[in-house]
Amino acid sequence: MSIATVLTKPEIPELDPDRFIDIDLFGQDIKANAPTYFAEWATRPPFYAMVQGHVHVVICRHHQVQWALRTHEIISAVPHPGWGTDLFDYFNGLPLVVDFDPPEHSRMRRLMQPGFAPNRVAKLKPLIDSMVDELANVMAQKRHFNMVTDFAGPLMYQILLGGVFEFKSDDWPLFINLSNALELVATVPPGAPKPPEYLAAFNAVYEFCGKLIEERRIDPRDDLVGSVIAAHDDEGKISIEELFSTLVQLFTAGLGTVPATSSNAVLRLLRHPDQLELLRKDPSLLNIALEECMRVDCLGNFRHRFVVKEHVIDGTPIYPGMVAHLSLGAANYDPDKYPDPTRFDITRDPRDILTFGFGPHLCPGNSLARMMTRAIVSRLIFGFPNLRLTDPDEVIVYGGMPTERFPTNVNLSVD
């Protein structure tokens, strides 16, 4: 499979200058002050912004984002190289499940579905709880730690690579190197070759997948990799590209997202002591409290798509040739859906948050992600009565891919 075909970018007609906002969509300012931007954007019609000389349209209201996520004949997920999203080509042109529209997308989804079977996810719970507990005990000894890099991040390697994929720890560095190299992609100018460190990491995982297919054909096993290979083989022999893209998508999708979500939740709760106290007094609020945390601190500021058919949304014309950014983060602040959206209220019980997307691409890992987030956050807030921010005034620096909002320094003390 390859998406090497470069589609000619259609000419975009002249646009109303009043519908442009002069803003760096992927800059630190938006990442750091997202709630303020989102609360404002969620009340306005779609707007345009320039990114590397291309027109991007940003769609923010809850119902409009939902509409865009399910209307692939107008707003398509299929990558259009050269249209202005080269900085999101994380896998060297290899298409992932997110890069397809139905009906092809439905086939890709079906092939990875065994990995998310409810019984497989449920079986992981005791393992996840014990891994969380073990590392939390190490943190208790350490007393001061960065929740992202010392606790939730390393935990995720153990859970995903050891628990979910059941890979030997000797093989983990291949995936860890690739995940570390992904952020390099966004540093490359459009059209320039990918950095050698990235290519080396990519090729190493690619070779590993080839060997894995051979091994599993000789020695089939009833684990996640086995079921992915078996599901593909029912429809024809799996290719290295297909296994690579399935595994890598599963792995990278969970690796940074869960540590970031749980760290954002702990940060948010520690900064709202009244809400934290409420939760500690009534732990049955945990599930809805976490939904509220994920509403206000959505990881994906935007999901990108491509406009393939002319349309008008709330007075804003969109044309083929534009990149569309569906702001999941802003949609979670739509006042028509969540009254007084900037108020953090763990009793709100917010429904239909878009943190995990919507429509055909709705995150298939959302139950697993919610389970892991619950295990991590509850162990910290209920297990450490003295949990606090090491320096309450520390400025949080946000990393992650350009469209994401991953905190990098949530420093905690538990002594």
98 near ligand HEM (CB under 6 A): yes
Which is closer to ligand HEM, CB of 216 or CB of 304? 304
Tokens coding 81: 């190289």
275 near ligand HEM (CB under 6 A): no
Which is closer to ligand HEM, CB of 49 or CB of 368? 368
Residue nearest to ligand HEM (CB): 365
Distance CA 91, CA 98 (A): 12
**What are the two backbone dihedrals, phi and then psi, of residue 317, each rounded to the nearest 5 degrees?**
-75, 140
Residue 369 CB, nearest distance to ligand HEM (Å)?
4
Binding window for ligand HEM (CB under 6 A); candidates: 13-21, 204-212, 253-261, 269-277? 253-261
Binding window for ligand HEM (CB under 6 A); candidates: 20-28, 30-38, 314-322, 351-359? 351-359
Residue 45: closest CA among 299, 308, 311, 304: 311
Which is closer to ligand HEM, CB of 258 or CB of 313? 258
Residue 116 CB, nearest distance to ligand HEM (Å)?
7
Binding window for ligand HEM (CB under 6 A); candidates: 10-18, 132-140, 206-214, 356-364? 356-364
- Compute the chain's Rg from CA coordinates: 21
249 near ligand HEM (CB under 6 A): yes
Distance CA 347, CA 279 (A): 9
By CB under 6 A, name the one of 94, 128, 201, 363 that touches ligand HEM. Answer: 363
β-pair type (323-326, 54-59): parallel
Binding window for ligand HEM (CB under 6 A); candidates: 215-223, 236-244, 256-264, 315-323? 256-264
- What is the per-residue binding string for ligand HEM in 301-340, x denoting contact by CB under 6 A? --x------------------------x------------
Q: Which of helix, strand or coil describes residue 138? A: helix
Long-range CB pairs of 8-17 (<8 Å, 24+ gap) are: 9/80, 9/82, 9/83, 9/321, 10/319, 10/320, 10/321, 11/321, 12/55, 12/319, 12/321, 12/322, 13/317, 13/319, 15/48, 15/55, 15/317
Binding window for ligand HEM (CB under 6 A); candidates: 21-29, 44-52, 366-374, 396-404? 366-374
Name the H helices within 33-171. 34-41, 62-70, 104-112, 118-142, 153-156
Positions that interact with ligand HEM (CB under 6 A):
97-98, 109, 249-250, 253-254, 257-258, 261, 299-300, 303, 328, 355-357, 361, 363-365, 368-369, 373
